[in-house]
Structures are given as structure tokens and as C-alpha cells.
């Protein structure tokens, strides 16, 4: 889909299908017949019902799982907000292609297909302290690329990102959507020192001041303060909802990228689960704001979709118990 205007995109964000209560209820009823005390598998039972709700199946499946990593470059790195130069983005995309990154190993272990989509890496976004990160055409093009990356045959999708400096636009989006300052939302990202962290705070505050007139519009926040890979994640999250594909959100950047959808629609992220809470400052606060409870807390802060990939194995555990456990009647076990 090629979104032609912000209004068209906004309408797509407001017109969201609900999940299947009937499928979720059927999953819950089956769980109550299995050879265990009711509710004793805790979140694994909730995950199974979530899968059923958004796949629309009493017996969910995980045959087609995909990790999509979007990559972009950022003009705001001119403000000295990252410990690494922008050329590392291109180098890491090559590393993904060569199978040498953490996400390659984790995707293979999770039984997930990995796709990497670079977005105009030779043309960084605008420095949002000076201008909009993206004009409307650039923003809509990136959103559309993300939207088209998700296909209805998928049973589960994870989103990841690669973009030197992108924790700065992620923090700026969080502040733009939910209030606060750079100091409240930003962390050290790839490891900036104290001076770099101060520059990061200042850049975010400058961006918020420059674009203050547009902060009431979540899509304008994403365009003015974000990045192409973040816009693509927003589009991909929207596509997954339209196509009934459940989503595992990765870390701070991915969550911030998807957050405009929650701001536009009260149930905008209902088809998602937070895979983990990262060590990046601001992520826990953002999850609490969005009322998303993370599945894992492992001190990870790599990005790339790595935390979401680890959580795929947890989702597979939930499905295996749901699909393969015997019922009390089948096992000849006396119920309570």
C-alpha cells in the first residue's frame, strides 16, 4: 500500500479490526481441560489466548514466523549524540547479510525467517533540531515500505531496527507523544559518555521546541522527530493489525516507533506483546505508559529485534503446551 496523505494514514490507524473473542475464549476453555491446575501455567496460558485472538484460531500455529529489521540513518547524529559514526549502519547491514550479527543467530534458533530492509542509507533524515526529520512524502514512503513488508501468511512477526543514533529520535518521539524532556526519556544508547549524553538531552529538547506546534498530532511527531526505520516500523505494526498478525515488540526504539498508533487509537497496540524491557533508559517508563507488560527482563539493549527473537521461544513454549498437552479425559486423570 502507498499512503498518499497523512489523513489517509490517520484513517487507516483509526480503522482497526478487533481480535476474535470467540477464538480467545476457545483457547481458554481448552486450557481449563488440560492436565494441570487451572491457571497454573500463568503467562503461558495468556500468550496462547493472545495468539488465538489475533490469529482467529482456536488452535494457533507458529509455522511462519518472521523477523524484519529496518535500517535508517539520522541527521541528528551531527549533534554528537552517538558513540559510533553513521557509516556503522551500512556496515551492520552487511554483517546481517553475512550472518554475523546476534540477530542472525537468535532468529535461526527461534525458527524465524530474517529479512533486513535498508531505507535510503545514503540519504540521512534531516537534523530535527534544525528542520523536520522527514517531510510528508518521505514519511509516507517509509511507512508504506513497512506496511508492505508484512504479509497475511505470517503467524507471528517481530520488528527490529538498525540505525546509528536512533535512540535519540526514539526518545524524542516518546517525549513528543507523552510529555517530558530529553533528560526524562534519553539514555546512553550505544554508550555515549557524559558529554555525549548532555548533547543528546539538548538535541531532544531543541527538537521538541522547534516542532512544538505539531506535538498534538502523533503522526506529525513521528515525521518531524523520527526516522525512516521508525516510520517503517509504524507502518509494519499497522499492517500486522490489518492482516491479523500478532506482533512481538522489541526494545525502546521499536516500542517508541509503534507508540503513535496507541496514541491515535486506545486499542492500537492490542495485537502486540512487549517481548522484553531493555536496559535503555526510558523503555520501562514507555511500557508503563502504554500499559504493556514485558515478557522478559534480561538487561538487553542491542536492538536488531534480538529481545523479540528470544521471546519467540517463550511463545513457542506456550503453544506447545496448549497444542500437545493431554486433557484430563484423554489422560485418564481425575479432575479436582
Q: Report, as residue numbers or ranges, the catalytic residues.
A: 304
The candidate with the shortest Cα–Cα distance to 233, out of 68, 5, 65, is 68
Give the 3-state secondary structure of the chain: CCCCCHHHHHHHHHCCCCCCHHHHHHHHHHHCCECCCCCCCCHHHHHHHHHHHHHCCCCCCCCCEEEEEEECCCHHHHHCCCCCCCHHHHHHHHHHHHCCCHHHHHHHHHCCEEEEEECCCCCCCCCCCCCCCCCHHHHHHHHHHHHHCCCCCCCEEEEEEECCCCHHHHHHHHHHHHCCCHHHHCCCCCCCCHHHHHHHHHHHHHHHHHCHHHCCCHHHHHHHHCCHHHHHHHHHHHHHHHCCCCEEECCHHHHHHHHHHHHHCCCCCCCEEECECCCCCCHHHHHHHHCCCCCECCCCCCCCCHHHHHHHHHHHHHHHHHHHCCEHHHHCCCCC
Positive or negative CA dihedral for 118, 124, 130, 134? negative
What is the spatial distance between Cα 192 and Cα 89, in angstroms, rounded to a whole number?
17
Beta strand pairing status for 156-162 and 65-71? parallel
Amino acid at each position: 500500500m502507498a499512503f498518499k496523505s497523512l489523513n489517509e494514514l490517520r484513517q487507516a490507524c483509526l480503522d482497526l479490526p478487533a481480535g476474535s473473542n470467540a477464538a480467545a475464549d476457545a483457547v481458554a476453555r481448552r486450557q481449563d481441560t488440560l492436565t494441570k491446575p487451572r491457571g497454573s501455567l500463568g503467562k503461558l496460558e495468556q500468550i496462547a489466548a493472545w495468539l488465538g485472538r489475533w490469529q482467529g484460531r482456536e488452535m494457533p500455529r507458529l509455522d511462519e514466523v518472521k523477523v524484519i529489521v529496518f535500517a535508517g540513518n539520522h541527521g541528528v547524529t551531527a549533534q554528537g549524540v552517538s558513540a559510533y559514526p553513521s557509516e556503522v549502519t551500512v556496515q551492520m547491514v552487511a554483517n546481517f547479510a553475512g550472518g554475523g550479527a546476534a540477530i542472525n543467530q537468535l532468529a535461526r534458533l527461534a525458527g524465524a525467517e530474517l529479512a533486513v530492509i535498508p531505507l535510503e542509507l545514503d540519504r540521512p533524515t534531516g537534523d530535527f533540531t534544525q528542520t523536520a526529520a522527514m517531510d510528508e512524502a518521505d514519511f509516507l514512503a517509509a511507512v508504506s515500505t513497512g506496511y508492505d513488508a508484512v504479509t497475511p501468511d505470517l503467524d507471528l512477526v517481530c520488528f527490529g531496527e538498525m540505525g546509528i543514533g536512533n535512540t535519540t529520535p526514539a526518545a524524542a518521539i516518546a517525549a513528543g507523544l507523552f510529555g517530558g524532556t530529553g533528560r526524562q526519556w534519553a539514555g546512553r544508547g550505544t554508550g555515549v559518555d557524559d558529554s555525549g549524553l548532555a548533547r543528546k538531552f539538548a538535541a531532544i529538547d531543541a527538537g521538541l521546541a522547534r516542532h512544538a506546534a505539531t506535538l498534538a498530532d502523533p503522526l506529525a511527531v513521528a515525521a518531524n522527530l523520527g526516522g525512516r526505520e521508525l516510520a517503517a516500523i509504524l507502518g509494519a505494526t499497522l499492517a500486522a493489525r490489518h492482516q491479523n498478525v500478532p506482533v512481538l515488540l522489541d526494545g525502546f526504539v521499536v516500542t517508541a516507533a509503534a507508540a503513535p498508533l496507541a496514541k491515535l487509537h486506545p486499542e492500537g497496540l492490542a495485537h502486540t506483546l512487549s517481548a522484553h524491557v531493555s536496559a535503555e533508559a526510558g523503555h520501562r517508563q514507555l511500557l508503563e505508559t502504554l500499559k504493556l507488560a514485558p515478557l522478559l527482563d534480561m538487561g538487553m539493549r542491542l536492538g536488531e529485534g534480538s529481545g523479540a527473537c528470544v521471546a519467540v521461544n517463550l511463545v513457542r513454549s506456550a503453544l506447545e503446551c496448549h497444542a500437545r498437552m493431554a486433557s484430563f479425559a484423554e489422560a485418564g486423570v481425575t479432575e479436582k
